[in-house]
Structure 1
């Protein structure tokens, strides 16, 4: 037989354990992930002056790749459809390397793009080229580019 004190101690222990026991955690509510953001469309060639067409280059290169050539063919076609519009081509480079080398590279990139447009039917007299050299604080692909846009400036 269990002594009354032992029975009382055993009961108190069981009550204490029951009070300390945690209720099982509710299952986590998993919300459906948000739908993915739509991919940014590739830049369209525009001749309305509000959008520039960027042509990107590999580091230390002025060679056009296939996507760049396709975009430039489209831009040349738009320019041919709008013969009164002049085209501005501006070359840039990233800041790695010497300033002189980057200025030369940005000039060469702009020249390559302008020559491609001319070879695809845009009169060279309608194309103005500028070069800006290195883009301070930018070392990614966005600094290794040429911008093609409507020329709003003076010749």
Structure 2
């Protein structure tokens, strides 16, 4: 799906950083290939909860209360209310800018003030962000204390001032000296905070991680040390190795049994394994989430497994090597409905 993500972001941030936008696109990954999952539905509480838990908390590492994070999400939604297509990339950019976390994606941290003012967020979100910074200040090490301790307490205020605020009414060069000293101390404090804060140590997005349900990373399956890909937000596929054998997990949209087109490319390693091991068999098992009618869900799980089996045949895997294996319980009630709607393809 072709989209000019940068142009969409620049409808709200005229000087949006192209590097940051590209990094967010890489982070979203497969979610952007599906029209529905590439957009954020602010009217869907489950969707906004996923943005809060997966993007704000897990990706950006924010620790503010849910009310603060939900307020910021609502502010972005209000800011974009005139836009019929609320692109996920633009939403994530505005949230990262609001919380000063653009550096995680290779950009510079930005102030929260523009978003709070534009969307009418109020004092709660800004105060939450300020509290996080304030809580981090006491742990900042100052290995080279400045010789003038008194101005250090006032350093943030001077750092926020412009040069046109300098005394022009008789303070002479004495005020200028203190102002310059305070500015130097503020600069030193800024670099120390960046070097010691979690934001500075958070790994920059290298394009290798992908986002699924709002950006959450998939937990490694038991015995699968190499499964590090994220769960797609809708239809998608994740390839992994388990004990040296290839494994595919195919995910589906809610209530759907349509197999993603991405399966053809992802199945290449499975086909190579079957070609090299003609006696090997593939077990194809379908699952569903616990919502809705149990009988209907069981039928959907069956159709999903059958659809994956036909898709594997389409890439050249012999039908004799594919076994449809019904699990003892097709309903996955582990709590993550997105992960539950799946078909697992394993080498027996």
TM-score w.r.t. length of structure 1: 0.68
| CA distance, structure 2, for counterparts of residue 56 and residue 74 of structure 1 | 18
The range that moved more, 42-51 or 68-77, is 42-51
| CA distance, structure 1, for counterparts of residue 229 and residue 332 of structure 2 | 24
Structure 1 counterpart SS, 2:335:
coil
Inter-CA distance 127–105: structure 2 relative to 1 (3 Å threshold) = same
* Pairing partner for 1:102 from 297, 304, 320: 297
| CA distance, structure 2, for counterparts of residue 47 and residue 30 of structure 1 | 42
Is 1:115 the counterpart of 2:278 in the alignment? no
Shift of the alpha carbon at 1:73? Answer: 4.5
The range that moved more, 22-31 or 63-72, is 22-31
Deviations 1:78-125 (A, max 9, x none): 322321211111111111111111111111111111122123322222
The runs of at least 4 consecutive aligned structure 1 residues that moved more than 4 Å come to 40-43, 45-51
The answer for the alignment partner of 2:150 in structure 1 is: 23
| CA distance, structure 2, for counterparts of residue 49 and residue 128 of structure 1 | 20
Is 1:148 the counterpart of 2:311 in the alignment? no
Inter-CA distance 144–88: structure 2 relative to 1 (3 Å threshold) = same
Structure 2 counterpart SS, 1:128:
strand
Q: Is the 8 A contact 2:288 2:297 kept in 1?
A: yes
Q: How many residues align?
A: 130
Deviations 1:20-75 (A, max 9, x none): xx933163332241123762457435485655311111111111122223213442
The answer for the alignment partner of 1:12 in structure 2 is: none
Shift of the alpha carbon at 1:131? Answer: 3.3
Q: Is the 8 A contact 1:109 1:146 kept in 2?
A: yes
User: Within 5 A, what are the aligned runs for 1:83-94?
Assistant: 83-94=278-289
| CA distance, structure 1, for counterparts of residue 339 and residue 315 of structure 2 | 25
More strand by percentage: 1
Inter-CA distance 23–47: structure 2 relative to 1 (3 Å threshold) = closer
| Unaligned segments of structure 2, at least 5 residues | 1-148, 156-185, 210-227, 231-237
| CA distance, structure 2, for counterparts of residue 67 and residue 120 of structure 1 | 12
The answer for the alignment partner of 2:273 in structure 1 is: 78
More helix by percentage: 2
Q: Is the 8 A contact 2:289 2:332 kept in 1?
A: yes
* Pairing partner for 1:130 from 322, 325, 328: 325
Pairwise CA RMSD: 2.7
Structure 2 counterpart SS, 1:116:
helix
Structure 1 counterpart SS, 2:325:
strand
User: Within 5 A, what are the aligned runs for 1:40-55?
Assistant: 40-41=228-229, 43-44=238-239, 46=241, 52-55=247-250
